[in-house]
Amino acid sequence: MELPRVTNAAGTRSFALFPAAVLAFIFDSQGRLLLLRKPGRSGAWEVVSGGLEAGETVKEGLLREVHEELGDAVQLKVMGVLHAGSFQYDAVISLISISWLLEYMGGPIVAGDDAAGAEVRWWTREALLRDAPAVRVPREPWLLERAFALRPLVLDLSMELESSSEH
């Protein structure tokens, strides 16, 4: 299947339009990862995720998806990109996927329109390994491991940068 294309204003470059998705790996101050279990999705757990809308920046799409799934009152700090890659969504669609690390800063978590009726749970790495729940998103188990491994490093770096900017 050939993807739709767009040409730059000067008419000198043509690019394939490629769908993109964001994944939000949200951690609390205790290092636990937030996962949702949405009704009608085979009972598997997943991180907040969704596709970008036309005209959105990646960060705008990330924050929109988080608020659609967890409510407008959730307060987060975007820590950085965890991973970027592509994956085959189905037999027709390939997606660019950008995974982000976020720190939960507070506010009530109320499953929004995109996650109505979802069960919300904070998971430790140890509980995920022990209980081995079915996880739908991300599809790659190593990405969960990477998120747990990188969060403390990114958090430490963020604190260092904040304290150095105060001087």
**Which CATH number covers residue 144?**
3.90.79.10
Q: What is the pLDDT of residues 10-26, one digit of tens each?
A: 888 887 777 889 999 99
Percentage of the chain beyond pLDDT 90 is 56
User: Do 79 and 4 meet the contact criterion of CB atoms below 8 Å apart?
Assistant: no
Task: State the pLDDT at residue 163.
Answer: 43
CA distance 159 to 167: 13
Between CA 138 and CA 80, with CA 29 as vertex, the angle to 5 degrees is 50
Task: State the pLDDT at residue 158.
Answer: 61
Domain count, the chain: 1
- The residue range of the domain holding 99 is 5-165
Provide DSSP, 85-102. Answer: EEEE-SSS-EEEEEEEEE
Select the more confidently predicted residue: 137 or 30: 30
Give the pLDDT band of residue 114 (cuts 50, 70, 90): confident
Q: What is the pLDDT of residues 123-136, one digit of tens each?
A: 999 999 999 998 98
Percentage of the chain beyond pLDDT 70 is 91
